[in-house]
Structure 1
Amino acid sequence: MSSYATLLKRPLALGILLVFAGTFAACDSFVSNVDQPKDAAGDEQFNDPAEAEYLITGIRAQWADSHSGVTDLADGLSDEFRFGINSNATFPTFEQIDAGIIRDDNNSVTTALADLQEYRYLADDLLRRLEESNGFDPDAPAASASEAEIRYAANVHGANARYYLATYFGHPDDPRRGGATIDTSAFIPSPELYQRAENKYANALEQAEAMGDELLQRRVQSVRARNALYAGTHDFEATGGLQGTEALQDAAEYAREGLQKGESWDVAYDLNTANDYHNQAGAGRLQLAVQDGNKAQLAGGVSESYRVADESTGELVARSHVETVANNPQELNRIPLTIINSGGATTYGFGALPRNLQDLKPSSASDRFESVLNDFDPTDVGPRGSASPDTLSAFSDPSADPAEYVTIAEWGQGKWEERTDMPFISWQELFLIRAELELRGYDAGSETALELVNVVRGSYGLSDLSSVDLERIAVERDRTLFATGSRLPDQRRMKAVEWHLKDQVNGQKTAQWLQLTQDETGPNPNL
């Protein structure tokens, strides 16, 4: 049995585990072969109905730990982020993820998967406590949550966990096949995991309806729509589960009842649960830098995993957000970046860019960002230093000595700080889901695809489009959902988005899913 399940089935301090969920860094792990603390609470204590709210709070904390831990690695496997050259980026595990050649002992994937499986276990265990004859009674006077609240939490978080497993993880021996295991099960393909998530979302919706909470209902319907959209648009083998036309019909039905403008469902971060985008793809520790399309730096230079540039246009397959904001600085509203300088810290404060960036108006979309910086007239923008493909030069305060300048080691995401809450799903994403479904021929509401896209663009101060197709939807999703783990599934499921890695390197397939690691597969006799 996996280590997380073994730990939780022992009479160790489950309460202590829940309190400290999310406080450990990626390189840490639980040590289970220690004496039980004398003051530790046994597992049976948590059958007390007074502990229901406490258990739900622990599940939410573990959700936060799991969400950013999985999605930032997905951004690294996609070409949204890449392994950085910053001297502060020392983990070769991220280099493997960027190259798509992932060892079965990759510690970053191991930790993210363990956190996610722990999240799933806690949600499932809460439902077990409610349903077992010796479990807690939600009707007891001491109960801290109603039966509907308990069932909602257990089902919705159990569904979320299965959605993550279906979307981000894959077979240990076939990195092009999505799916995972649950406890010591045989391998479960992604369509079956999406179906299991759908079943639990349906149960959660029933509880939200019983509570009369319409916002909870809209949240559930929104994530059901995304779950079904992903299931219906991936090119899965016909193995059963949720997929194909039936899934897309379901997605449209759920999307019509989803989030309204201004609404979202956020994952909360606090002192105990830091946002991993800060510590792994930002100012805290830049293991994954925002993609700038620099061919010399792709995959960290350790392999030939990335496709070569198109010989006719010179453009790389890897899509660069840095180039996007240089071409249209207004895109910074939905693609916020931060300078990470040679000392590994942000410059001008978190989320800040060179102060001249708003004046950048390159002549065409094919201009490389570093070329724009190199070619700029210093009399127009203030003091500057030299630049090269590996070390870009930013501009210091115009009032500073002309000899002073800031050296950029990397571009980091400027969207999520250490304790920044991030949407599990936002109304903007739901509107883009509806727009995509409309273009695929499914009725997802009263607005047209173009109207939905322009409402989303307007929320970032961007001008309206005059037309939209699936290729443009891919662009709008890519920019609107920057640093949320969305580019990876979009690269696999949308024909308009070309996959960025070569099929094989030295006879080894490159990964399109984060493969199950040996800590998950080793103790499993069924895999």
Structure 2
Amino acid sequence: MRRLLVLWSCSLLLAGFLAGCDTYVEDIDPPIDTIPDERLNDPAQIPFLVQGVHARFADTYGGLALLSGGLSDEFFFDQNVPNATFPTYMQIDQGDILLDNNSVDGVLNDLGELRFLADNLVERIDNNMPDAPADLATLGRFIGYFYGGVARYFWATYFGLNPEQGGGVIDAGPFIPSDQMYDLALEKLNAALQNLPQELQIGGTTFSQDQLRRVVNSVIARVYLFKGDYAAAAQAALNGMQPGDPPFLALFSIEAPNDFYFGAGRGRTQFVADWRFPQYLEADPKEVARIPLRTILGNDGVTVYYGQDKYPEQGSPIPFMTWQENHLMLAELGALRGQNIGGADPLALINEVRTSHGLDPYPDGTTVTEDLILEERDKELFAQGIRLPDQRRFDRWHLPAGTWKYLPITQNERNANPNL
């Protein structure tokens, strides 16, 4: 089978195939530049459609990783930081988020588009492309199912109807609580496993079919872990990513930049890293491999803040899934959740992650506690959108009672959706 090439250019035309479709979800404005819908039913357009889904995934994930980091205790907002001026970011940092917060509104719209684009890709292939070459049809179905599952995972993990109740909506339908939304994500991700292309190139990285299978299983393991189904999480993680597997990345460019660059980076610093991160570096300077920081002098000329430098450029990629995260999931499941992880030693798994970054391993006999797992996840998954769900599931919330633990489904969506 010929090589499947996925282009990752983030053109403004990527969402163009929405023209002619029914109202699809959420309060999302129609695109300005469009391609007639019927022309996109040509199988030759599948790579273009795939390109659009990839681009919307990256945009959505970047926004969610940034804002969820601000809501969690990973980043904070302080107007003493030069150029930190957005009141919407202050609301997020304080967990006192108004329903008309336009920063949240923007990423909610991106997520609605991602969910639609992914689902529509599968529907278009199944309903309008009976003569599509098998390799292109498989590619399109894989991308549609995979990102359709990821979109539902995003809804369940990051959004909520009220401060304590996570979940989302699909096609302006009724509210779907997180637990049910995770189940819908798993249905899509399992369908992706049934539609694996022989090979997939993402940017400069080529994934074999076996590597893709492991990526999907690692994402499934994360969903089960956040859902609290630890036996299923362990089974999926045992089939997940292995050392040597390339990371699955969200890719960006100058035209479609990484949100951290202008929200918590060199382009503009709104959020800065929590004080514990420079303390990690003080305790072990080698941790710079996982927690690169830069200093920022406050407006007062005295206070020194620390900005993330994990993503120094507009086009810096964000890891979405890595073998290191899969190892940490297995370590947690074996040490804290009483699961069979194939005879692996949780400490050895953690040490393999550490040594992959040139860090010293923990000594033999070190007890793998909840605090140790959380600290390793805190460092390894820095600025990847994972701290917020970790705080909730480990009951480590840092803000007063009654504050938002999710990004709210915004007023625009509530006004447009008669079921909310």
User: TM-score normalised by the shorter chain: which range applies?
Assistant: 0.7 to 0.9
Matched, 1:252 2:234: yes
Matched, 1:16 2:10: no
Match of 2:302 in 1: 391
3-state SS of 1:339 partner: strand
Contact 1:20 / 1:272 at 8 angstroms: preserved in 2?
Answer: no
Q: Tell me how far 1:210 sits from its aligned partner.
A: 7.3
Change (3 A) 1:106 1:279: same
Matched, 1:137 2:120: no
The separation in 2 between residues aligned to 1:30 and 1:17, in whole angstroms, is: 15
Match of 1:437 in 2: 333
Q: Tell me how far 1:31 sits from its aligned partner.
A: 5.7
Match of 2:353 in 1: 456
Match of 1:240 in 2: none
Matched, 1:414 2:309: yes
Contact 1:434 / 1:445 at 8 angstroms: preserved in 2?
Answer: no
Match of 2:209 in 1: 213
3-state SS of 2:416 partner: coil
- Candidates 34, 53, 63, aligned match of 2:47: 53
Which residue identity lines up with residue 453 of structure 1 in the other structure? I
Matched, 1:521 2:419: no
Q: Tell me how far 1:513 sits from its aligned partner.
A: 0.6
Counterparts of 1:220-239 in structure 2, within 5 Å, are 220-232=216-228
The separation in 2 between residues aligned to 1:48 and 1:104, in whole angstroms, is: 41
Match of 2:3 in 1: none
Change (3 A) 1:185 1:92: same
The separation in 2 between residues aligned to 1:167 and 1:473, in whole angstroms, is: 20
- Candidates 368, 372, 381, aligned match of 1:472: 372
Matched, 1:337 2:293: yes
Q: Tell me how far 1:432 sits from its aligned partner.
A: 0.1
Q: Tell me how far 1:138 sits from its aligned partner.
A: 4.7
Contact 2:28 / 2:112 at 8 angstroms: preserved in 1?
Answer: no
Match of 2:159 in 1: 169
The separation in 2 between residues aligned to 1:455 and 1:70, in whole angstroms, is: 29
- Candidates 59, 76, 85, aligned match of 1:82: 76
The separation in 1 between residues aligned to 2:317 and 2:14, in whole angstroms, is: 22
Matched, 1:322 2:278: yes
3-state SS of 1:262 partner: coil
Q: Percent identity?
A: 40
Q: Tell me how far 1:71 sits from its aligned partner.
A: 1.1
- Candidates 135, 138, 154, aligned match of 1:148: 138
Contact 2:378 / 2:387 at 8 angstroms: preserved in 1?
Answer: yes
The separation in 1 between residues aligned to 2:131 and 2:167, in whole angstroms, is: 35
1:212-256 Cα offsets, whole Å, 9 max, x none, are 810110100010000110001xxxxxxxxxxxxxx2111111101
Q: Which runs of 5+ in 2 are unaligned?
A: 1-10, 19-26, 200-207
The separation in 2 between residues aligned to 1:391 and 1:137, in whole angstroms, is: 66
The separation in 2 between residues aligned to 1:206 and 1:272, in whole angstroms, is: 34
Q: Highest CA radius of gyration, 1 or 2?
A: 1
Q: Tell me how far 1:167 sits from its aligned partner.
A: 0.5
3-state SS of 1:522 partner: helix
Q: Tell me how far 1:112 sits from its aligned partner.
A: 0.7
What is the RMSD of the two structures over their aligned residues, measured on CA atoms? 2.4
Match of 1:492 in 2: 392
Change (3 A) 1:467 1:20: farther
3-state SS of 2:378 partner: helix
Contact 1:283 / 1:340 at 8 angstroms: preserved in 2?
Answer: no
The separation in 2 between residues aligned to 1:186 and 1:213, in whole angstroms, is: 37
- Candidates 168, 184, 205, aligned match of 2:172: 184
Q: Tell me how far 1:327 sits from its aligned partner.
A: 2.6
Matched, 1:274 2:267: no
The separation in 1 between residues aligned to 2:152 and 2:375, in whole angstroms, is: 27
The separation in 1 between residues aligned to 2:185 and 2:322, in whole angstroms, is: 19
Match of 2:4 in 1: none
3-state SS of 2:196 partner: helix
Match of 1:404 in 2: none
1:117-146 Cα offsets, whole Å, 9 max, x none, are 1111100111111222xx123535xx8x52
Query: Which stretch shifts more, 52-61 or 417-426?
Result: 417-426
The separation in 1 between residues aligned to 2:139 and 2:280, in whole angstroms, is: 44
Contact 1:123 / 1:153 at 8 angstroms: preserved in 2?
Answer: yes
Contact 2:166 / 2:406 at 8 angstroms: preserved in 1?
Answer: yes
- Candidates 320, 324, 329, aligned match of 1:424: 320
Aligned pair count reads 387
3-state SS of 1:208 partner: coil
Q: Which runs of 5+ in 1 are unaligned?
A: 1-13, 22-28, 233-246, 293-319, 344-387, 393-407, 504-508
Contact 1:209 / 1:217 at 8 angstroms: preserved in 2?
Answer: no
Contact 2:17 / 2:36 at 8 angstroms: preserved in 1?
Answer: no
Contact 2:159 / 2:167 at 8 angstroms: preserved in 1?
Answer: yes
Match of 2:243 in 1: 261
Matched, 1:125 2:36: no
Which residue identity lines up with residue 104 of structure 1 in the other structure? L
- Candidates 253, 266, 273, aligned match of 1:283: 266
Using the size of structure 2 for normalisation, the TM-score is 0.87
1:379-411 Cα offsets, whole Å, 9 max, x none, are xxxxxxxxx8x833xxxxxxxxxxxxxxx4x31
The separation in 2 between residues aligned to 1:210 and 1:268, in whole angstroms, is: 22
3-state SS of 1:67 partner: helix
Which residue identity lines up with residue 61 of structure 1 in the other structure? A
Q: Tell me how far 1:340 sits from its aligned partner.
A: 3.0
